Structure 1
Amino acid sequence: MSKKRAGKKKEKGKERVLPTWTGKLDITRSGMGFVVIDQLEQDVLVRPSDFNTAMHGDTVEVRVTKPAARNGRMQGVVSRVIDRKQQAFVGKLEISKTFAFFLPESDKPMPDIFVPLSNVNGATNGARVMVRMLEWEPGKKPLGEVIEVLEDVAENDLAMKEIILENGFPLTFSEDVLEETARIPEILSQADIAARRDFREILTFTIDPVDARDFDDALSIRKLKSGYEIGVHIADVSYYVQPDTALDKEAYQRATSVYLPDRVNPMLPERISNELCSLRPHEDKFTFSAVFHITAKGEVKEHWLGRTVIHSNHRFTYEEVQEVIESEEGLYKEELLLLNNLAQKFRKQRFKKGAINFSSQEVRFKLDEQRRPIGIMIKESKEAHQLIEEFMLLANRYVAEYIGKIEVNKKSIPFPYRVHDQPDEEKLVPFAAFARKFGHSFDTKSPEKIAASFNQLLQDVQGHPEQHVLEQLGIRTMAKAIYTTKNIGHYGLGFEHYCHFTSPIRRYPDVLVHRVLQDALDSKFVFDKKMEEKCKHSSERERAAMESERAGNKYKQVEYMQNFLGEEFDGVISGVSSFGFWVETVEHKCEGLVSIASLSEVDDFRLIESDYMLAGLRSGRKFRMGDKVRIRVVSANLDKRQLDYEWVITASLKEHSKKKNNG
């Protein structure tokens, strides 16, 4: 957030300059507001009477009215709302003869919304509804309209919608956007086809999850005299989504699709994402491509970037490709086995050059017809997934390198790089000390040594009791990847240049990359002064999407574990704090809290941060991250998205604790 301008305050005959800042308003449950500003260590306190129509999560301009006293905060008033985080709300409608009022269901203080009778859209008095705020003039009540009556909406459906809304994503597209999308021609013009490199006669296929509907990448392959030509073909979204259109503005505001356990809230309307742009089999499609001449040893001899037209021959699922890899039998087996062989070579080279090999497990829910979870599956990264991953990484890297080498009048072109900083030293030092307690050395002398130490540690801990804790803590030392025009490289991948080029259907930065790349290929070097602002917005929206996904997964975990109240399970301690420890069940990967209050009959426990553990003052009992424990499910609160567990104490340990306490 940025400093905007200075305000003035008279003090004993002098004019004292007080600044105006841009930040995000955080309203506590008590109603007090705090504007969080990136450049300041302390936030600015704003009283409710000075919100000036701002609500929780809004980006605002705040004018400082009182400087910080010793050990205190600056105070200020919101001078204007720059961007609203949330436009739609869930609550109750109260209708009188001449007007209606909407009473929001929110744990944050906010005003009732005035709804003209012409805007109730069939809702009746007392109905639970979703209302969109249309405008809010200072000194007046906000004005809104009913967009959905929720009487027949299932609670779990409503909970997912509220998660999306709370994080600032709209549930529907405006009429302008839908009308604009409907006007886009479905048939590809011959003139546009002629202007592209034609790959329609070359074997091409997609590989995606079994339930995917938006296929945004495809691979083509053909044999050359010396090696192979492999094309990475990406849906040409920028052909359909033109700058400054209603469609483009909506896509930018969303910046990303949001993936919840039972739905996708898309960045683009379905006609774009699932029809016009989706690389469906047996259809001609426009793509933006990175085409590589690769030897059998995995060496890239040359490459080409540009717009293409393709015709996918087949749609594979990851499971189908994995079956071909393992059995060496099936459709296009030679091509798939060759691609897999090359991908594994790329993967090996990446780790050799300093990429960090963090493995990850993805939890997926099996849902019934009412979208209730009836089972949990663990999705692991297999060679079929790695095949696609490596070729997407290759394309992303070469596109970023191409743009990164261009200079005009000794200036780089503003471009949305995907960067990842080196590990945070404050987090790394205690982690290295903790790893040494398990016999794992960690060299922190240079970024390269750190990466090598991480990879050696991840290899050494496989199958050991400390594997889970060290993997989790290792990930927490890492910086967060972001979008920015300042190219510092991608530490985790070991790349000097990197960007996101391969998923423009679900990520707006990829659309920006396509536009900058095409301009550069056309020798039109555009210096977009707002590119860094667009990068920050995209990074913020990405974080909001991740928060939505975490909340959605947590809700489904709680919904699922309601079936097991009172039952016992094996678990692993996944985190500790002064008020208890979290346990993730081995069977379901569902995390819940064992509160320190529930342990009081055993001992008084204190947090030892350096060892990531709770230690009993009398018994010597320790609960450390990574320890295996037995728990009982005691509570599953859907409203709070919270699971509460209880540590299962053996009868002998209970007796031992009683004797110690009495003695």
Structure 2
Amino acid sequence: MAKKKASHIKHVFTQLITDVFEKSGNKPLNYKQVAAKLNLKDAESRESILDVLKVETNKGLFQQVDAGKYQLKELKTFLTGRVAMTSDGSAFIIPDDEFENDIYVAPRKLRTALNGDKVKIYVFAKSKGKRKEGEVIEILERAKMEFTGIVKISERFAFFIPDDKKMLRDIFIPLDDLNGAQHGEKAIAKITDWPEDAKNPIGQITRVLGKQGENNTEMNAILAEYGFPLQFPDDVEEEANAIPEEISAEEISKRRDFREVLTFTIDPVDAKDFDDAISFKYLDNGNYEVGIHIADVSHYVKPDSALDKEAYARGTSVYLVDRVIPMLPERLSNGVCSLRPKEDKLCFAAVFELDNEANVVEQWFGKTIIHSDRRFSYEEAQEVIEGTSQEYYNEIHKLNALAYKLRDRKFKHGAISFESTEVKFKLDDAGKPIGVYVKERKDAHKLIEDFMLLANRKVAEFIAKKGKGKNKYTFVYRAHDAPNEQTLNSFALFAARFGYKINTKSDKEIARSLNHLMEDVEGKKEQNVLTQLAIRSMAKAIYTTKKSSHYGLAFDFYTHFTSPIRRYPDVMVHRLLELYLADGKSANEEHYEALSLYSSQMEKKAADAERASIKYKQAEFLEDNIGREYNGIISGVTEWGMYVEIIENKCEGMIRLKDISDDFYVLDEKNYCIIGQRKKKKYQLGDEVRILVKKVDLSKRQIDFTLVQNGTVKDEWDF
């Protein structure tokens, strides 16, 4: 411990001395001049300064330019930023200043910085023609201290091998800190110390997840890897359990009563958290009253309560292949808040009077009480639409007709329709995948979606137009920027290979041609590749308090109001809408912008966790098919290989360039292909190839393919 403390003091002292040279413009100074600038007058401090200057000169930090005079070998400047690790142990620092370029840091100059950490770095003076390089001098904030991985135990010590591909250091675990973990088990380890002179951090096992390869173990490992807790804290559960299900007469008296109006929910067959319901009524003037009733989560989850803090920390529910990890405890998500049939439920609603063309004649926002008459699955509602069931036939058919008109108007205004195929796994009782099927989106899905979009759009529009300029009201919007022109042009060139034309002259033309593409490509082999690439060419949607449009939906204003059981931004929207309906003052914008930024980050983590669970199930499914051949589509190209998606089951794996033996292949990034250097043979994104499943690594969620006959399947394409 004393050695570690001395090392830290020396490091800080070196920094102070370096700062002196930085601030003096790197003028040559002797140790006495440095001491004077640091206001150190005693002989011992002066001697220490001289020792540092001599030692660090030998290390290359300083150079002696005259008798007793030193200066920094290279003038440095300071920056702060986030670490983005590479596979070779080096990193790029992404500066907080968006106008600065990324700074390269060699492995030996990273100190103990890990991927995602916020750090302070020295930036060396740039040599002509070379990129900027730097050195980490301080870790300001750790991105994560806990990791999932495998425990390896020997007689005298144990190591923990993290799953995270960007965590390149194993964690040393003292035998006393194993906390019951056995050799080969999957667990969660927390870094507790990292001595400056140690190559590996020291940690302890905080939770044993179970036997490697078991479904429950692996799903929990994915959740932990992305920072989602595996259970609710006791105080959160206690707070949820204390909420009464009974609704008082006083509360009912404050609300608009829809219990006598036809109301129903339409959700997936296995859903338990019903957070939206639709009411429908014919009006005497020939119009229709359609209510979009949303679970009134904010009535039960109060700001700064234990429930609220936990919901904010999670940010969203997480949907893995075999389970849902709810944002709220089950007592609320599946019980008190869930709009279950034949029960009185509290809601926050957007109620519209629509004419026969689905124009909004009148609108009302406020608190309601409902009593759902029927819980439809999507399949049951689809049977009504297709005429094989007569239950609420007239009402559902009229809602479907109105939804069609809302949809057509949306596309005429420039919305983009991305209909990518959604793959689902058939799982046995142990969670092992035994089959794959493609989930279809039919009119019942789209009906619900169109009315949810209407509610979200109109709520956002209502607040956005309530005040302007300095009088604007702080609100949480769902924003989506126009695509980057260069990225879109690259996609247009690629789509042209398949005979699809993308007109990039204006936003409306882009949307129109993309929609034509989505229609034409539906059901074809290239659908997923082109759809995913088109989506990648778009900007990412985010939460923000800045008034901005939603490019993909072609809405001037948009928010998320309809899913507060599973999304925290919807809870914020409910609170703000309630405040402004009661003529409250505008909320603090800075506070809500910070909440919005965090919500966007948690949304991305949840999506990454979902993808990881899909990758695991794909690997598990193909583990029983090693050696089998399939036809696939090249879905991605990188400098180390090409990704191929199997047409039959949509599982994706990689063909490594080193495994293609007929030539030396390199990436041609501009043309989305890899090309042989001698024979000039190309493998391009979208090409169909015959592959063999070579290897599956479940722990890494990796699938390796090899090419069969090193050839592209050409006879099925018509260019």
TM-score (norm 1): 0.87
The yes-or-no answer on 1:14 pairing with 2:72 is no
**How far off its partner does 1:556 sit?**
0.3
Question: Can you list the C-alpha shifts for 1:187-207, whole angstroms capped at 9, x where unaligned?
Answer: 222222211111111111111
Q: Which runs of 5+ in 1 are unaligned?
A: 1-6, 654-663
Query: Letter of the aligned partner of 2:248 in structure 1?
Result: S
C-alpha separation between the residues in 1 aligned to 2:116 and 2:91? 10
Question: What is the SS of the residue equivalent to 2:557?
Answer: coil
Distance in structure 2 (CA, Å) of the matches to 1:103 and 1:606:
36
Q: Does 1:223 align with 2:285?
A: no
Indicate conservation of the 8 Å contact 1:569/1:632, yes or no. Answer: yes
Matching of residue 534 in structure 1 with residue 595 in structure 2: yes
Instruction: Write the mapping of 1:17-96 to structure 2, written as runs, cut at 5 A.
Output: 21=80, 23-26=81-84, 35-38=93-96, 39=98, 40-43=100-103, 45=105, 56-58=115-117, 60=118, 62-67=119-124, 69-70=126-127, 71-81=131-141, 84-85=143-144, 87=146, 89-92=148-151
C-alpha distance in structure 1 between counterparts of 2:105 and 2:266, whole Å: 51
Match of 2:240 among 181, 202, 205: 181
Residue 154 (structure 1) shift? 5.3
Question: Shift of the alpha carbon at 1:399?
Answer: 0.7
Aligned partner of 1:572: which letter? Answer: I
Partner of 2:376: 316
Task: Give distance in 2, aligned partners of 1:134 and 1:563.
Answer: 37
1:363 aligns to what SS in structure 2? strand
Q: Which residue of 2 aligns with 1:552?
A: 613
Letter paired with 1:397: R
CA deviation digits over 1:352-392, x for unaligned, max 9?
Answer: 11001221211111101110000111012111100110011
Q: How far apart, in 1, do the equivalents of 2:107 and 2:523 lie?
A: 54
Question: How many Å separate the matches in 1 of 2:293 and 2:422?
Answer: 26
Cα deviation, residue 441, structure 1: 3.6
8 Å CA contact retained: 1:129, 1:149: yes
1:361 partnered with 2:421: yes
- Which segments of 5 or more consecutive residues in structure 2 lack a partner in the other structure? 1-15, 27-75, 714-719
- Which position in structure 1 is the counterpart of 2:569? 509
2-structure distance, mates of 1:620, 1:125? 52
1-side partners of 2:548 and 2:195: how far apart?
44
Give, in angstroms, the shift of residue 497 of structure 1.
0.3
SS at match of 1:310: strand
Displacement of 1:333 after TM fit? 1.5
The answer to whether 1:581 aligns with 2:642 is yes
CA positional deviation for 1:651: 11
Deviates more, 1:613-622 or 1:397-406: 613-622
Q: Secondary structure at the match of 2:307?
A: helix
* Secondary structure of residue in 1 paired with 2:290: strand
**Structure 2 match to 1:388:** 448
Q: 1:474 aligns with which of 534, 558, 563?
A: 534
Aligned partner letter, 2:382: Q
| Number of residue pairs aligned between Structure 1 and Structure 2 | 636
Measure the CA separation in 2 of the matches of 1:28 and 1:619.
32
Q: Give the structure 1 partner of residue 462 of structure 2.
A: 402
Quote the offset at 1:606 in angstroms. Answer: 4.5
Aligned with 2:546: secondary structure? Answer: coil
Q: Structure 1 residues 10, 375: CA separation in 2 closer, same or farther (over 3 Å shift)?
A: same
Mapped contact 2:92–2:102 kept (Cα < 8 A): no
Residue 660 of structure 1 corresponds to which residue in structure 2? none
Deviations 1:49-78 (A, max 9, x none): 9868x75445x3x33345554323233333
Cα distance, 1:144 vs structure 2:
5.9
Q: 2 CA distance for matches of 1:76 and 1:326?
A: 64
Contact 2:79 2:122 in 1 (8 A): no
Question: Percent sequence identity over matched residues?
Answer: 44
1:563 aligns with 2:621: no
Kept after mapping to 1: 8 A contact 2:190/2:206: no
Choose 506-515 or 453-462, whichever is displaced more: 453-462
Q: Structure 1 residues 562, 188: closer, same or farther in 2, change over 3 A?
A: same
Task: Deviation per CA, 1:587-617: give whole Å up to 9, x if none.
Answer: 111111223333323x444444443233445
Other structure's SS at 2:408 match: helix
Partner of 1:255: 315
How far 1:312 sits from its partner (Å)? 1.0
Deviation at 1:221, TM superposition (A): 0.7
- Secondary structure of 2:590's counterpart equals coil
Q: Does residue 191 of the first structure (1) align with residue 243 of the second (2)?
A: no
Pick one of 480, 483, 492 that aligns with 1:432: 492
* Aligned-partner Cα distance in 2 for 1:439–1:385: 30
Match of 2:222 in 1: 163
Q: Return the alpha-carbon distance in structure 2 between the equivalents of residues 507 and 482 of structure 1.
A: 13
Q: 1:531 to 1:632 in 2, by over 3 A?
A: same
For 2:620 and 2:382, how far apart are their aligned partners in 1?
32
Q: CA deviation at 1:288?
A: 0.9
Cα 1:68/1:223, change in 2 over 3 Å: farther
Larger Rg: 2
Indicate the SS of the match to 1:587: coil
CA distance in 1: counterparts of 2:613 and 2:296, whole angstroms: 30
Alpha-carbon distance change, 418 to 599 in structure 1, aligned in 2, over 3 angstroms: same
Kindly indicate whether the alpha-carbon contact (under 8 Å) linking 1:46 and 1:76 is maintained by their aligned counterparts in 2: no
Contact 1:207–1:317, Cα closer than 8 Å, also in 2: yes
Whether 1:413 and 2:423 are equivalent positions in the alignment is no
2: CA distance, partners of 1:650 / 1:31:
33
Is the contact made by 1:68 and 1:74 (CA closer than 8 Å) also made in structure 2? Answer: no
1:290 paired with 2:350, answer yes
Distance, in Å, in 1 between the alignment partners of 2:642 and 2:107 is 36
Indicate the larger mover: 425-434 or 499-508. Answer: 425-434
**Structure 1 residue 641 corresponds to structure 2 residue 701:** yes
* Aligned partners of 1:44 and 1:64 also within 8 Å: no
Secondary structure of the residue aligned to 1:334 is helix
Q: Is the 8 A contact 1:9 1:18 kept in 2?
A: no
Moved more, 378-387 or 470-479: 470-479
Matches within 5 A, 1:617-628: 621-628=681-688
Question: Do the aligned partners of residues 113 and 349 (structure 1) sit closer, same or farther apart at CA in structure 2, a change above 3 Å counting?
Answer: same
Q: Which amino acid aligns with 1:514?
A: H
- Please give the alpha-carbon distance, in whole angstroms, between the structure 1 residues aligned to 2:189 and 2:639: 41
Deviation at 1:328, TM superposition (A): 5.1
Work out the CA distance in 2 between the residues paired with 1:435 and 1:129: 44
| Distance in 1 separating the partners of 2:670 and 2:611 | 27
Cα distance, 1:374–1:494 mapped onto 2, change above 3 Å: same
Q: Is the 8 A contact 2:629 2:692 kept in 1?
A: yes
Structure 2 CA distance for partners of 1:72 and 1:277, relative to 1, 3 Å: same
Q: Which residue of 2 aligns with 1:204?
A: 263
2:604 aligns to what? 543
Partner of 2:656: 595
Q: Secondary structure of the residue that 2:19 maps to in structure 1?
A: strand
Judged with a 3 Å threshold, the aligned counterparts in structure 2 of structure 1 residues 378 and 154 are, in CA distance, closer, same or farther, namely: same
Aligned partner of 2:326 in structure 1 is: 266
Amino acid at match of 1:160: M
